[in-house]
């Protein structure tokens, strides 16, 4: 959840680290800090509460000069977000600093031991125990060997942690280490310079040659390169990978927010998602990276999808897709529930994890659980080279490009599209699709980016969403209703509004309305109804009637030319006509835009809404 950037080389460490932190601020924005070894050979630290801009202003007033440094943006786990708790944390003699992403689960016990040994704590964080432990081992037990002191400290820690250590006693090196699923530690190789980052957009403008640390691995990094080892000190030969992402894809360009950019680029991102995956001659889907044979797919008797948040809602759409197209039973589980409920998992099951970041701790743990029971595992993942991408039998990259806005948008539509491809792929292997049906589905998905582009272009050119936001931004509650394959879109639409506008919104299965929520309907609670012309269209029309009969306001996501809905709803949010199974991908877009425009008018920092972080690497 926190973001770490480290640099050693010939450039100004402060400017490389600050630029990198800007790319990672989506991970946490409670406070930020930096440490650099200045030309005087001493370690200097700057820390500030609040967003990165505060640290940048402090650095303008009190610059740091030097060629080795480390920085951090924080998402608070232990202790409130204030300067005292900002990283880097410093040893008692001021010579050593540590930044951490993760949690020290046994921190209370370690803190007590350290206090008995005479260490005074200056923050409420769990991280501070790490710096004092390293300091203690360094002076007592490791005989001044910093690498050894870090290794011994890591053996004492429980829980996931990614750390970077910098000491003025060893000014020509940075030490990075990773324990458990603490989120990524990417080490970038330059010419006479090296970089460390929690996520690759932070360093893409400098290098695309990246090596990732795995659980219980560490690296001693100098300007010339990195030495990799395990926590016992045995050397490791690790391969770097070349990252193909264009660094500009992680910039905002002409848009006001990343979220806005990511919404409006969905025509392009869906084209990328489909790239290389449709064989029009054979009318087949190609998913080579799935790495599973047709025989393996034929013997499956169940699919379980595990994910969190928006990715979980994508999984719910996936259930409809896979069950209808491949006729395999699908269960969808919150990863955070799956891992603790002793699920029944067998080798004949395929467990599909959906994760934009590839770092979500619960999703990674659910995958581990599935593997432990011998299930086949596949990850649908966006972040190239992330942990989820590395631990599964098979992989489907979303190919959506970096998603920086905290509220997920293009990763949602990419992952639903990938689930559609997976459903066809399973259907091909299992013989549940005849030629005509396969051709119908492939033609339909090929048309999707064009339809998305048309929807978004119309929205961009017109004033509909701005006017609606103006009209509705002060409402306190919204209800979202969907049925069938669009029920998860009601959940996702409500989540988008909640997280970036702080307005209460509830997503509900339309058929359940009469069983309770209908009591809420009045003029004060607008109802968003998702009603494309699909197999439950008639039911959704009745739903609209029922809300109207009780004096409610209805905003309907419907086909632009649907005169019936136009006559019944107060407002229509238009979507183009598509294959029924693809309507969720188009229907979610008006809801994303509406949430964005409402949040703007409420003055929320859309890309960094309060309390949230892009990668949830702690439980
Ligand atoms: C909501 C949102 C979150 C994420 C969730 C899972 O807009 O972004 O709900 O979907 O934290 O994240 P990933 O997909 O990275 O595992």
DSSP string, 572-604: EEEE----GGGHHHHHHHHHHHHHHHHHHHTT-
Residue nearest to atom 9 of ligand 1 (CA): 309
Q: Provide the pLDDT for residue 34.
A: 97
- Report the atom number in ligand 1 closest to the C-alpha of 415: 14
Residue nearest to atom 13 of ligand 1 (CA): 355
Q: Provide the pLDDT for residue 93.
A: 95
Cα 584 to ligand 1 centroid, rounded to whole Å: 18
Alpha-carbon span 428 to 417, nearest angstrom: 17
Residue nearest to atom 8 of ligand 1 (CA): 408
Q: Which of 184, 199, 257, 310 to mutate to test the pocket of ligand 1 (most atoms within 8 A of CB)?
A: 310
Residue nearest to atom 3 of ligand 1 (CA): 309
- Report the atom number in ligand 1 closest to the C-alpha of 406: 8
Low-confidence ranges of the chain (pLDDT < 50): none
CB 386 within 8 A of CB 358: yes
Cα 173 to ligand 1 centroid, rounded to whole Å: 35
DSSP symbol at 243: -
Q: What would the DSSP string read from start to end of 54-70?
A: HHHHHHHHS----SEEE
For the beta carbon of residue 155, count every other beta carbon within 10 angstroms.
13
- Report the atom number in ligand 1 closest to the C-alpha of 309: 9
Residue nearest to atom 10 of ligand 1 (CA): 310
Q: Provide the pLDDT for residue 85.
A: 87
Q: Which of 28, 257, 308, 596 to mutate to test the pocket of ligand 1 (most atoms within 8 A of CB)?
A: 308
215 Cβ partners below 8 Å, 6+ apart?
178, 179, 180, 181
pLDDT of 474-522, one tens digit each? 999 999 999 999 999 999 999 999 999 999 999 999 999 889 888 888 8
Residues with a known catalytic role: 2, 614
CATH architecture of 258-446: 3-Layer(aba) Sandwich (3.40)
Cα 356 to ligand 1 centroid, rounded to whole Å: 7
Characterize the bridge pairing of strands 330-334 and 302-307: parallel
Any bridge partners for residue 376, and if so which?
A: 350
Residue nearest to atom 11 of ligand 1 (CA): 309
Cα 25 to ligand 1 centroid, rounded to whole Å: 16
Question: Which residues have CB under 6 Å of ligand 1?
Answer: 308-311, 355-357, 360, 363, 407-408, 495, 499, 616
CB 503 within 8 A of CB 598: yes
Domain boundaries for CATH 3.60.20.10 within the chain = 3-250
Q: Which of 359, 360, 588, 615 to mutate to test the pocket of ligand 1 (most atoms within 8 A of CB)?
A: 360
Residue nearest to atom 5 of ligand 1 (CA): 309
Cα 353 to ligand 1 centroid, rounded to whole Å: 12
344 Cβ partners below 8 Å, 6+ apart?
none
CB 35 within 8 A of CB 44: yes
Domain boundaries for CATH 3.40.50.10490 within the chain = 258-446, 460-601
- Report the atom number in ligand 1 closest to the C-alpha of 335: 16
Fold of the CATH domain 460-601? Rossmann fold (3.40.50)
209 Cβ partners below 8 Å, 6+ apart?
188, 189, 190, 240, 241, 242, 243
3-state secondary structure of 303: strand
DSSP symbol at 514: G
For the beta carbon of residue 375, count every other beta carbon within 10 angstroms.
23
Alpha-carbon span 187 to 176, nearest angstrom: 9
Class of domain 3-250: alpha beta
Q: Provide the pLDDT for residue 248.
A: 61
pLDDT of 426-438, one tens digit each? 999 999 999 999 9
Q: Provide the pLDDT for residue 246.
A: 67
Cα 114 to ligand 1 centroid, rounded to whole Å: 37
Cα 430 to ligand 1 centroid, rounded to whole Å: 31
C-alpha Rg value of the chain to the nearest Å: 25
pTM: 0.81
Q: Provide the pLDDT for residue 304.
A: 98
């Amino acid at each position: 959840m926190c973001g770490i950037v480290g640099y050693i080389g010939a450039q100004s460490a402060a400017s490389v680290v600050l630029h990198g932190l800007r790319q990672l601020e989506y991970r946490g924005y409670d406070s930020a800090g930096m440490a650099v070894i200045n030309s005087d050979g001493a370690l200097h630290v700057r820390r500030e509460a609040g967003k990165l801009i505060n640290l940048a202003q402090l650095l303008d007033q009190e610059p740091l000069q030097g060629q080795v440094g480390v920085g951090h943006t924080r998402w608070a786990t232990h202790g409130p977000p204030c300067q005292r708790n900002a990283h880097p944390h410093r040893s008692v003699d001021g010579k050593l600093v540590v930044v951490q992403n993760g949690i020290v689960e046994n921190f209370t016990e370690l803190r007590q031991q350290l206090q008995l040994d005479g260490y005074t704590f200056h923050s409420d964080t769990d991280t501070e125990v790490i710096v004092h432990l390293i300091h203690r081992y360094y002076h007592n037990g490791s005989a001044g060997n910093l690498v050894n002191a870090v290794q011994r400290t890591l053996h004492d820690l429980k829980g996931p942690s990614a750390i970077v250590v910098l000491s003025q006693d060893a000014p020509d090196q940075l030490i990075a280490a990773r324990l458990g699923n603490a989120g990524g530690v990417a080490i970038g190789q330059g010419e006479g310079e090296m970089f460390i980052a929690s996520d690759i957009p932070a360093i893409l403008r400098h290098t695309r040659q990246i090596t990732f640390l795995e659980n219980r691995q560490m690296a001693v990094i100098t300007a010339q390169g990195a030495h990799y080892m395990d926590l016992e000190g045995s050397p490791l030969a690790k391969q770097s990978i070349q990252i193909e992402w264009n660094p500009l894809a992680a910039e905002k360009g002409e848009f006001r927010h990343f979220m806005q950019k990511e919404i409006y680029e969905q025509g392009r991102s869906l084209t990328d998602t489909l790239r290389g995956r449709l064989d029009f001659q054979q009318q087949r889907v190609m998913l080579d990276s799935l790495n599973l044979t047709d025989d393996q797919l034929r013997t499956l008797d169940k699919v379980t999808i595990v994910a969190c948040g928006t990715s979980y809602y994508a999984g719910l759409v996936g259930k409809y897709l896979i069950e209808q197209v491949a006729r395999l039973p699908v269960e969808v589980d919150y990863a955070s529930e799956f891992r603790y409920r002793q699920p029944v998992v067998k080798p004949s099951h395929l467990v599909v994890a959906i994760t934009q970041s590839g770092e979500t701790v619960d999703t990674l743990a659910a995958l581990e659980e599935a593997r432990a029971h011998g299930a086949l595992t596949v990850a649908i993942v966006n972040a190239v080279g992330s942990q989820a991408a590395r631990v599964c039998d098979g992989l489907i990259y979303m190919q959506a490009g970096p998603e920086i806005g905290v509220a997920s948008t293009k990763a949602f539509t990419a992952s639903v599209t990938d689930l559609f491809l997976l459903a066809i792929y399973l259907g091909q292997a299992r013989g549940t699709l005849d030629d005509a049906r396969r051709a119908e589905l492939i033609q339909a998905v090929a048309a999707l980016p064009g339809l998305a582009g048309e929807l978004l272009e119309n929205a961009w050119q017109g004033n509909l969403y701005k006017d609606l936001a103006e009209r509705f931004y002060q409402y306190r509650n919204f209800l979202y209703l969907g049925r069938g394959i669009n029920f998860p879109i009601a959940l996702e639409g409500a989540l988008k509004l909640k997280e970036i506008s702080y307005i209460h919104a509830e997503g509900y299965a339309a058929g359940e309305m009469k069983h309770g929520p209908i009591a809420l309907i009045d003029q004060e609670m607008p109802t968003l109804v998702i009603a494309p012309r699909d197999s439950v269209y008639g039911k959704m029309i009745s739903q609209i009637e029922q809300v109207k009969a009780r004096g409610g306001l209805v905003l309907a996501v419907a086909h632009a030319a649907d005169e019936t809905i136009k006559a019944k709803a107060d407002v229509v949010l238009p979507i183009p006509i598509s294959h029924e199974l693809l309507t969720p991908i188009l229907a979610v877009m008006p809801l994303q835009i509406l949430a964005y425009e409402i949040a703007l008018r409420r003055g929320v920092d859309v890309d960094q809404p309060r309390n949230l972080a892009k990668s949830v690497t702690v439980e």
